[in-house]
Amino acid sequence: MVQPETVLGWHRELVRRSWAAYRGRPRVGRPPLGEECRELIRRMAKENPSWGYFRIRGELLKLGYTVSATAIRSLLRRSGIPPAARRSSLTWKRFLAAHAKTLVAADFFTVDTVLLKRLHVLFFIHLASRKILWAACTREPNAGWVTQQARNLFWELAEAG
């Protein structure tokens, strides 16, 4: 009698031999892009967010690489790099990073005192430094009071700068 391990071994050998015939065959389709070319495509897309697939292809042709726009698109998709339209658009994160030195944010919050009186606090914060520039509180805020606090902040900044 034959052991089950022997039958499994014969089967593995049969499968190995059947796939071994494919090793010597030439590959079908386009040859894969070299790692240097793939890295160059990724770098071009990241450093030039407004460049589309055809512009990247044209620049690669100048450098001696022949790559189709479809291959560039596929590579960028696999790498998680979005198309040029989404790469070059201004996001809130980029906008805030570019203008943080000049932006001041304002916010209101309320505080209940020990005697259960409600105070309204208005504060202004510089986004780049996270420094509180001005803070004030009142029991009854209105438009005139808020306007005056903004004026006070303006004069404080004018004197400091």
Q: Environment class of residue 55 by beta-carbon count within 10 Å: exposed (0-12), middle (13-18) or buried (19+)?
A: middle
- What is the value of pTM for the model shown? 0.45
From the list 60, 61, 74, the residue with the least C-alpha distance to 30 is 74
State the distance between the two ends of the chain, measured CA to CA, in whole angstroms: 97
Q: What is the pLDDT of residues 5-43, one digit of tens each?
A: 999 999 999 988 888 878 777 778 878 899 999 999 999
Partnered with residue 85 across adjacent β-strands are none
pLDDT beyond 80 at 47: yes
- The identity of residue 5, as a single letter, is E
Contact between 56 and 84 under an 8 Å Cβ cutoff? The reply is no
According to the model, what pLDDT value does residue 99 have? 87
Q: Mean of the per-residue pLDDT values for the chain? A: 90
